[in-house]
Amino acid sequence: MAFSRTADPTAASPASTPVPAPRRSLTITPDSASYKWWVTATVMLSAFLVVVSGSAMNVALPPIMTTFGLNLDQAQWILTAYMIAGAVFIPTVGWLGNRLGNRNLFLLGLLIFVGSSMLCGIAWSGPTLIFFRVLQGIGSGAGGRTRDRRLRDGVSELAHGVLHESAARAPVYGAGVPGDSQHP
């Protein structure tokens, strides 16, 4: 059986082969027009969530004490553990920012914060809630210290001002999130 080296006249030539259209990527690159608005929205939302979480926990503490059967000394650790974890993590943020990059550290902190917030919502006892609040504090410590840096590096002074405005308003909204069981 011999193979012919002549071209098949019915085969499509390379010039007539359709070229597929380039796929749109789901990532937003820094050179796209909407990049600065996505960065601003993400940073503002994360700042808002961190402050709302702290404010909501202050309001929800009495029902949490009742649900888990905690006394005041035990319940105080729900708030204190979060603050201690965030404060202890602050000195490492600069070093981690240099190692991982500020953007990656911000996203990692946001992921840890959101994930541990969900875990706080499904906590089955007081000690597990305290542990999940420690994780939440670590996430807020990592994300919180890089928020300003993300805006200054990637966006504008206007976005920086909007961030601080949203963080200032968050406690007002956070107090009403879980509902206040003492007032109708």
Q: Residue 28 domain-assigned?
A: no
What does the pLDDT read at residue 180? Answer: 42
Q: Residue 3 domain-assigned?
A: no
Q: How far apart are CA 6 and CA 24, in angstroms?
A: 40
Mean pLDDT of 143-154: 61
pTM attached to this predicted model: 0.68
For residues 116 and 89, the answer to whether their CB atoms sit within 8 Å is no
Mean pLDDT of 164-172: 57
Q: Residue 6 domain-assigned?
A: no
Q: Residue 15 domain-assigned?
A: no
Over residues 12-46, the pLDDT tens digits come to 555 566 666 666 666 777 677 777 778 777 877 88
For residues 141 and 100, the answer to whether their CB atoms sit within 8 Å is no
Domain that holds residue 65: 35-174
Calculate the dihedral angle through the C-alpha atoms of 159, 105, 112, 86, rounding to the nearest 10 degrees: -80
Q: How far apart are CA 122 and CA 128, in angstroms?
A: 9
Counting every residue written for the chain, the total comes to 184
Q: Residue 182 domain-assigned?
A: no
Residue 178: band (very low, low, confident or very high) from pLDDT cuts 50, 70, 90: very low
What does the pLDDT read at residue 62? Answer: 92
Segment among 9-18, 85-94, 134-143 with least mean pLDDT: 9-18
Q: Residue 144 domain-assigned?
A: yes
SS (H, E, C) 31-52: CCCCHHHHHHHHHHHHHHHHHH
Q: How many domains does the chain have?
A: 1
Q: How far apart are CA 12 and CA 49, in angstroms?
A: 58
For residues 46 and 108, the answer to whether their CB atoms sit within 8 Å is no
Q: What is the CATH number of the domain that holds 130?
A: 1.20.1250.20
Q: Residue 16 domain-assigned?
A: no
What does the pLDDT read at residue 33? Answer: 72
For residues 111 and 55, the answer to whether their CB atoms sit within 8 Å is no
Q: Residue 43 domain-assigned?
A: yes
Of residues 86 and 174, more confidence is placed in 86
Over residues 125-140, the pLDDT tens digits come to 999 999 999 999 998 8
What does the pLDDT read at residue 2? Answer: 55
